[in-house]
Structure 1
Amino acid sequence: MTDRKDMTGEMLGPKSGPEAGAGLELFFEAARAQSPVPGDDLMARVLADAAALQPQGAASAGLWSRLVTRAQGLRQEMGGWPAMTGLAAATVAGIWVGSLAPDLASEAITGYWSGESEVYVFDVMAGDAYASLEGAF
């Protein structure tokens, strides 16, 4: 395999030194000599496309439309129409209780604080008493 006559055993180019890149230097010089500036017709088409894609300035919204937009945003942040319905019902109930029965409300509040009310005890965790007796059997 090594007895070919066209093989001299030398590399195609030098390994290092100033002559290492001499073959490519011609291509680099040619690339440096050319100007990378695009043509005027290409630049005109690119600028025309860019101008066509720019968003057009919208007319400024009036005061009423800005208020409506903010109210819609606030409604959505609070939970939408179901939450607004509950808020309206609570507002109406509060106005009704506050305006129609102020004397009854004050009597009810003083009745709670006078000590004349009865106290009911209800054990929520009644099963705990049975659990404590479990080891007794």
Structure 2
Amino acid sequence: MTDHDRKPDDLDIYFDAARSAAPALSPAALDRMTAQALAVQKEFAAPPVARRAPRRGLLGQLLATLGGWPAVAGLATAGVAGIWIGATPPAMLINIAVDVGAVSDTAEDDLYLVDTQPAYVLSLDLTEGS
């Protein structure tokens, strides 16, 4: 039988021969392996140190809920920009508002925005007249 005619099952003969003639380990080698195994087991046996997260105050919880400092910085920037644009709107925004009809260019046209009867309350109760 040549090497080309062998099948993978033919290797079982060699594995059986190797198992039957296993050399014995020296006592010094067994002691070293046992010491290494015990050292590794001690590392696994030690419980991990439990670290508690520091308690957060109300402001810290709010900050974490909003998404941290980057999110709060974005909100603050948007708020300041909104107040700035609302207090001193650029001429371009006023012109757009006049063109759209949201604001008129004369004060007389905006009189409908004044509440002449502040004590009057509009009631939407449908059962009043029935």
- TM-score scaled by length of structure 2: 0.34
Structure number with bigger Rg: 1
Q: TM-score, normalised by structure 1?
A: 0.33
